[in-house]
Chain A
Amino acid sequence: MASLGYYLLLTAFVVCAYAAAISVAGARRRSRALIESGIGAFYLLAAIMAVASAVIVYSFVVGDYSIKYVQRYSDSVQPLFYRLTSYWGGLDGSIMFWVSLLSVFGSAAIYVNRERHRELIPYVVTVISVVEMFFLFLMIVHNNPFQTFLTESPTDGTGLNPLLQNFYMAIHPPTMYLGFVGLTIPYAFGMAALITGYLDDSWLRAVRRWTMISWLFLSIGLGLGMIWAYEELGWGGYWMWDPVENAGLLPWFTATAFLHSVMVQERRGMLRVWNVSLVITTFFLTIFGTFMTRSGVVQSVHAFGDDPELARMFTAFMITTVVVSFGFVIYRLPLLRARNELDSWLSREAAFMVNNWILLFSAFFVLFATMFPTLSEAVRGERLTVGPPFFNQWMLPIGLTLLLLTGIGPLLAWRKSTVENLRDSFLIPVTLGVVTAVAVAALGVRVWTSGICFALSAFVCGTIGQEFWRGARVRQRATGTDVFTALVGLVARNKRRYGGYVVHLGMVLIFFGFAGEGFKQKEEAQLKPGQQVKVGSFVVRHDALSITDDGQKQMITAHVTVLRDGKPFAEMYPAKWIFRKHEESPTTEVAIHRGFAQDVYLVLATFDAATQTASIAVDINPLVNWVWMGFGLLALGIGIALLPDAVFSFATAPVPANAATAVLIFLAVVLSQGVALAQDTIPAIFRSPLERQVAGEIMCNCGGCRLSVNDCGMMNCHGKSGQMGKIQQYIAEGKDHDAILATFVREHGGYDVLMQPPNRGFNRVAWLLPYVVAIVALLGVGATARRWSRRQAPAPSAAPIDRELDARLEDELRNLD
């Protein structure tokens, strides 16, 4: 199997080289046949990589431990799901995964654009192939995932680190990769345009969607990483400016800048050098991020392997990329002249330019601060570091400025805003912002940065609301429908614009959540049973410590009562799990009680079983959940922007879906009482699995033990027998698991009858939502791809009323601008 895989990689390399070479030849000779041959070779590459992926996945599934990579990242007891995800669990496999994804993404992009952008395609194939060749080369000479043991191979693997056997960890890397890989496509088109000299705006149109999709994946990848860090690492926050985090953020900044500045070029023919440079920079940063985190150049708490040879290869590739790319930009400068000049600083294009500078500066700053230890070592011979406070000090004002611009930009007209324009459009949003500022001050908010953030959020919401409202009114007057239908029609007519506003709204929510950080409260305390600690308006009381074992792991659970203003608020169960196979690294099971206003976040840090003492870290994290909701909304906005027109032909079709989603989130937050993992209990042989499961989840009501019915050790415990009787009765009545729990909750009058409150309801929605939207978006892209790939029949002429309406709306909207 291993040698098959290796030969596949070699073949892929050859095919890639062929595709690159033949495409150049085809383009230069203007030979259709040669170009087609290059395209075909690229499709073949995707097929080969798919087979190679299948080979390694198969090796993981059957446990072929003669392959070093398989041996190192899996073992025989690992669940199937994590054996599959072990594919990208290590460096070698993740490079291969990267190559495979890029070949699939590239094939799709080439397939979609092969007719429309015929003059660019051969060079697109060449550029992507060359990038692929670099990574294939890495694998063949240095990081071959199919490497086998020369001597006798071990009989079992060492197993994936238990910390990585986690759902978020399984889905976060591929999401990030999709984002990173996707950003190669705009680069390839940009380079093709530079090489051929076809530098009109057609290459921009080709890459717009690809950039949006990549940006979506990158954003969701970052969001998932934040959720993962928040829920699994147990330090109470979600971002600490670690080099690995920053590596994902750098291309995000420049891609965001590009998504904005591209509009200026489309609309006004300006910023053409800038745009192509941004695309190159973004691609460079994706490679640089990989380099930074993989080669040991940057010291991180995440002990990366030191790998000087890998560092050298990456450096060579990056230098070549920069020199060649910017060399072409300089060579083509005469063709990249702007068609227009900036008319006024009070114009939308100026706002976009400022936004771009700030985003680019952010990228520069984060890069500088991340690389600072390495730079200082190179310059002064001494390793100096800067901590998260330094990042925060800089990124806070930068973030607030960006938020302000989000509100200002859409209110400015293209070319030049008149004073009347300004007064008309700024009145409501500014009023809203000022009112909020005053209210916040009156309420005595003591953190001024958060106060500013709230006011700016209100301002931006005012802007976005006004845009939607005015647009809908104009359309309503023109079409004579109700406001709601007019709104849908409005969005349908300019999906990118209004989808963009929804993304902005998502950003506002994210900033709103960030602002909550200013009110964070933190306490650590060593508590004996009965002792309590006060944090803000909450009192956290440690009731008992229980130790259970399910054969696979020992679970130490603290039973904690949280009181708010003297009234019971929640029962929470932070825990520590010690896995048999990995006793050296216990896992922290954070207990989170979620809410719109704040999360109560408990971590069992240390414990003493003999005295039942537990040291508990309490974090009160205000407004955190708004960050996750913001990411959801952001995905929704991109989804709207990417939706194919056909979807809107059912005028109102997408609306119920969105409304349903919103309601779902709302309900989930209201209903979810907290988060703790379902913990298995000691098996009892004589009961049915269902009964045993339920008994493990229902609290014994004898009053003293605070254990599940399963675990209450009291002989002839009246509470236990009562609860057991009920469980048996409900099972006899044919109720299923959920129904039984629901009945208990109803009869008891609260969730505290359950050992663990309903599990992760909010979370599931929070992470599901982006995925649902992403899948919808992908399907949309697929559909569009199919449509584009057909020869475009002349569009059926729109009904006269439509054209009239279009003209009128455009006119009135222009007046509004």
Chain B
Amino acid sequence: MSNKAAKSKAGKIALTCVVLATAFGALLYSSLGESLQYYKYVDEVMAEPAAWHGKNLQVHGTVVPDSIGRKDNTLEWRFDLQRNGKVLRAYYTGIVPDTFKAESEVVLTGTLQDNGFHATEMTAKCPSKYDAAPAGPAAQSATPASSGGV
């Protein structure tokens, strides 16, 4: 094969790579926009609640003792989350993880509304430092996140 042919081939390959990379990059970027969630601590959100109003959020905080309430005969929960003295009222309907209780650390996914944070998903962190399993899917603590799927 002549040098020239080799060069044009390398050019073609480079071009293909660039086109593919750009296409995937663009797709990735566009699809990213819809599924982005901000990951914030309670005090960060409460510092400027208006800025977070209505946005997709993951809020991380500690459950305030004695704040957990549940409507009788329903799965509707109401509780307060706090961090560094800032408190956020939260609402959640559904089954809560085993480890959800006073003083437990939880991460809620949902949106901030006028009367508080409406969560669609709750994951609870294990209270103790938990580093039992090596890299692998089984290293899950009791965090029955309600989301899932293949």
Contacts and interface: CB of A to CB of B under 8 A. Distances in A.
Interface of A: 73, 88-91, 94, 98, 160-161, 163-164, 168-169, 172-173, 176-177, 180, 221-222, 224-226, 228-229, 233-240, 242, 244-245, 247-249, 289-290, 292-294, 299, 301-305, 341, 361, 365, 368, 373, 382-390, 392-394, 514, 517, 520, 524, 526, 528, 576, 584-588, 603, 605-606, 613, 615, 617
25 contacts: A91-B131, A161-B130, A222-B136, A235-B144, A235-B145, A239-B148, A240-B148, A242-B140, A245-B137, A247-B136, A248-B135, A302-B139, A302-B143, A304-B131, A341-B1, A383-B38, A383-B39, A388-B147, A390-B35, A517-B149, A517-B150, A520-B149, A584-B101, A585-B98, A606-B95
A176 B39 contact: no
Contacts of B107: 301
A507 to B, nearest CB: 13
Contact of A244 (B28, B74, B135): B135
B134 A382 contact: no
Most buried by A among B38, B130, B143, B144: B144
Contact of A386 (B36, B125, B133): B36
Contacts of B96: 605-606
B126 A303 contact: yes
A394 to B, nearest CB: 7
A224 B74 CA distance: 35
Nearest to A365: B28
Q: What's the dominant secondary structure at chain B's contact region?
A: loop
Nearest to B142: A163
9 closest pairs, A vs B, by CB? Answer: A237-B148, A225-B137, A235-B144, A245-B137, A225-B138, A247-B135, A390-B35, A605-B95, A383-B39
Contacts of B149: 237, 239-240, 388, 392, 517, 520
Given A233-B144, A301-B145, A161 B128 contact: yes
A229 B94 contact: no
A302 B141 contact: yes
Interface in B97-150: 98-99, 101, 105, 107, 109, 123-150
Given A244-B136, A382-B38, A613-B73, A303 B145 contact: no
Given A293-B139, A384-B37, A302 B109 contact: no
B108 to A, nearest CB: 12
A234 B124 CA distance: 14
A169 B148 CA distance: 20
B98 A588 contact: yes
Contacts of A293: 134-135, 139
B144 A221 contact: no
Nearest to A392: B149
Contacts of B84: none
Nearest to B141: A302
Contact of B31 (A233, A394, A586): A394
Contacts of B125: 301-303
Contacts of B138: 168-169, 172-173, 176, 224-225, 228-229, 244
B38 A615 contact: no
B95 to A, nearest CB: 4
A294 B95 CA distance: 30
Interface in B19-48: 24, 28, 31-32, 35-40
Interface of B: 1, 24, 28, 31-32, 35-40, 58, 73-75, 94-96, 98-99, 101, 105, 107, 109, 123-150
Contact of A586 (B58, B98, B123): B98
Nearest to A222: B137
A303 B101 contact: no
Contact of B148 (A236, A292, A361, A394): A236
Contacts of B95: 524, 603, 605-606, 615, 617
Contacts of A304: 130-131
Contacts of A244: 133, 135-140
A613 B73 CA distance: 8
A789 B61 CA distance: 60
A294 B135 CA distance: 8
A228 B35 CA distance: 28
Given A225-B138, A248-B137, A390-B31, A234 B130 contact: no
A240 B147 CA distance: 7
Contact of A229 (B1, B39, B130, B137): B137
Most buried by A among B28, B99, B124, B148: B148
A237 B95 CA distance: 15
A239 B150 contact: yes
A389 B120 CA distance: 14
Contacts of B150: 237-239, 392, 514, 517
